[in-house]
A and B are shown apart, each in its own frame.
Chain A
Amino acid sequence: MAAAAELSLLEKSLGLSKGNKYSAQGERQIPVLQTNNGPSLTGLTTIAAHLVKQANKEYLLGSTAEEKAIVQQWLEYRVTQIDGHSSKNDIHTLLKDLNSYLEDKVYLTGYNFTLADILLYYGLHRFIVDLTVQEKEKYLNVSRWFCHIQHYPGIRQHLSSVVFIKNRLYTNSH
């Protein structure tokens, strides 16, 4: 998904009515937002944080110092790890790690829904959509988290809904 398109999606999910115009910069088409008062903002995560503040939903950036750090960490992860990789093998390593991370957490920061969940959902959507039923079952925690986020009001919008089967087909649980 192009950065500008993603940022529009984010605007809508945050409930912002005004659609900003984004320009792109450099070889990797990093998004740039020209603000009315001040310098331009560069980069997906910088602009996203700005939009969150604009929408008066700062809690989405984390409440405690620790939570804020975790949110920042996952936003970094999103841009460096997920956007950087498009090979199948890398994605599977990534999903395996994410799966163990999410074993004991409802959301990326633990128990609170944050911007990290939103941007990771948008970033991973194009990979999750192509997973087989067996792979979705293998990365059970990622599937649980993804399914939860995609049902959040206002988040999914026009993105396709990924089907997750509720019962285990492949693990010997019969």
Chain B
Amino acid sequence: MIQSQEKPDRVLVRVRDLTIQKADEVVWVRARVHTSRAKGKQCFLVLRQQQFNVQALVAVGDHASKQMVKFAANINKESIVDVEGVVRKVNQKIGSCTQQDVELHVQKIYVISLAEPRLPLQLDDAVRPEAEGEEEGRATVNQDTRLDNRVIDLRTSTSQAVFRLQSGICHLFRETLINKGFVEIQTPKIISAASEGGANVFTVSYFKNNAYLAQSPQLYKQMCICADFEKVFCIGPVFRAEDSNTHRHLTEFVGLDIEMAFNYHYHEVMEEIADTMVQIFKGLQERFQTEIQTVNKQFPCEPFKFLEPTLRLEYCEALAMLREAGVEMGDEDDLSTPNEKLLGHLVKEKYDTDFYILDKYPLAVRPFYTMPDPRNPKQSNSYDMFMRGEEILSGAQRIHDPQLLTERALHHGIDLEKIKAYIDSFCFGAPPHAGGGIGLERVTMLFLGLHNVRQTSMFPRDPKRLTP
């Protein structure tokens, strides 16, 4: 056990760097034992480090005794080991490893941390594509088992790739917006009143009273605009007490929110948001190809396609496309999930894009603070954005006039007392502004073509799950 006893002058080489360039060098490597297999006087190990693995060989000879070979063969899977060995070129490529051109001839092997012999799930099963599992009758691991043993499930090459890409999304979001002159803000999550309507909010006890967990940073984003920050964004948790057990709902998720003052038209904001998304997609495709390919091995899917500039359709055009396909919908109806998906297919077929904006939603289906369309009272200055036929962003021009805001709130039957502070923030000069928010987990899921948001949430929270 390493208890920081000493500071050896030793360099540990990363498995990904074990290539032909290092042939014949003696190196130290720390990795996990992925598999170990004894064959007579030899033991073959596969040593794994994050997404990379390499074959290692312990053979009876100058450096290894029969006992050492036996010892190596009996090390439990997933144990962490320190290995000193020579990197040797191989004649035939090792197809089952990421490092295909070399293998490590082990001289010394130490167990740093021993794993228990019985693992709750096998990593090879956890990485197996569903189709292969069914065809060959081999085991795959179901979602609940993975989530119950998340620490092990996250070690798989697929999970490593997914969450590295997710980290990339956050990074690109931040990088792009800062380059566009936005300021990052932090907003409170313990609030005094439900921000999006009382139904889906978590209550916490706050000393002698009750408080709520924020359903979105909406109110505070807008207050920052009224406080002259002009362009703001925030990345933080969002809490929705919605009892929805679907493939795309979580009770806690990470919201990436944007709010921006504009000069004359809310399209200035809408286009900035769309451009931010496009920069994220491009950045992911440039910097995370390895991760995308790794995920594709287990979950094959078509690469994500998008247009520049982003395709923008108006709600009425979408209605026409759906009606042409035989769907019956009223002019002011909201899109149901099946219709959203069908629309996604129709748009992909017609325009060859997985990402598009739907603009000018009917006013009747939007929240009370949405600015109505000046030319058509039944429409609103609001928009949704879709990836692979599923909604990832809902946004709009916000009403910045306290009188109009009060009118619309009354129209929606909202208790004005509960939103007094909100309305007051617009009383001392408020710029016209608009914004929107995306869910990090959903965007990761849809970009990679995965089918359940729990695959892209490290420790997901839903109505049935509170641990780990």
Chain B binder among A4-12, A28-36, A83-91, A159-167 = A159-167
Interfacial chain A residues near B345, Cβ < 8 Å: 133, 169-170
Task: Report if B308 contacts A (CB, 8 A).
Answer: no
Interface size class of B (residues with CB under 8 A): 10 to 19
Q: Is A133 within 8 A of B352, CB to CB?
A: no
| Interchain CA distance A174-B348 in the complex, whole Å | 9
Kindly state whether residue A132 has any CB partner on chain B within 8 Å.
yes
Inter-chain contact A163/B325, CB cutoff 8 Å: yes
B346 at the interface (CB under 8 A from A): yes
B324 x A163 contact (CB < 8 A): yes
A80 proximal to B (CB < 8 A): no
> Considering residues A162, A165, A170, A172, which has the most beta carbons from chain B within 10 angstroms of its beta carbon?
A165
Contacts of B326 in A (CB 8 A): 133, 162-163, 165
**Complex contacts, B348 vs chain A, CB 8 Å:** 169, 174
Residues of chain B with a CB closer than 8 A to A163's CB = 324-326
Q: Interface centre among B325, B326, B348, by most A CB within 10 Å?
A: B326
Who on chain A is nearest to B326 by CB?
Answer: A163
In the complex, B342 has a CB within 8 A of chain A: yes
> Which B308-346 residues sit within 8 Å CB-CB of chain A?
324-326, 338, 342, 345-346
Whether the Cβ atoms of A169 and B302 lie closer than 8 Å is no
A contact patch SS: loop
Q: Which residue of A is nearest B350, CB measured?
A: A167
- A158, B343: Cα distance in complex, Å: 29
Query: CA–CA, A162 to B328, complex, Å?
Result: 12
How many pairs of A and B residues are in contact by the CB < 8 Å rule?
25
User: Would you give the shortest CB distance from B296 to chain A, in whole angstroms?
Assistant: 14
Most buried by B among A133, A167, A172: A133
| Residue B134 lies at the interface, judged by CB distance under 8 Å to chain A | no
Asked if B349 is at the interface of the complex by the 8 Å CB criterion, the answer is yes
Minimal Cβ-Cβ distance residue in A for B352: A174
The answer on a CB contact under 8 Å between A167 and B325 is no
Binary per-residue interface labels of chain B (343-361) against chain A in the complex, 1 for a CB within 8 Å, 0 otherwise: 0011011001000000000
The answer to whether A165 and B325 have CB atoms under 8 Å apart is yes
B349–A169 touching, CB < 8 Å? yes
**Chain A min CB distance to B259 (Å):** 36
Contact with B along A103-139 (1 / 0, CB 8 A): 0000000000000000000000000000011000000
Are A132 and B346 CB-contacts (below 8 A) given A162-B326, A165-B325?
no
Q: How far is the CB of A17 from chain B (nearest CB, A)?
A: 34
Contact with B along A63-94 (1 / 0, CB 8 A): 00000000000000000000000000000000
Shortest distance from the beta carbon of A165 to any chain B beta carbon, whole Å: 6
Q: Which residue of A lies closest to B302 (CB)?
A: A172
Give A162 to B327 CA distance when docked, in angstroms.
Answer: 10
Q: A133-B345, A167-B349, A169-B349 are in contact. List 15 more A-B contacts (CB 8 A).
A: A132-B338, A133-B325, A133-B342, A162-B326, A163-B324, A165-B325, A165-B326, A169-B342, A169-B345, A169-B346, A170-B345, A172-B302, A174-B348, A174-B349, A174-B352
Pairs A–B under 8 Å by Cβ, sample size 6: A132-B338, A133-B325, A133-B345, A162-B326, A163-B325, A165-B326
Interface of B toward A, CB cutoff 8 Å: 302, 324-326, 338, 342, 345-346, 348-349, 352
Q: Which residues of A contact B (CB under 8 A)?
A: 132-133, 162-163, 165, 167-170, 172, 174
Which 8 pairs across A and B sit closest by C-beta, in order of nearness? A163-B326, A169-B345, A167-B349, A169-B349, A165-B325, A133-B342, A133-B325, A163-B325
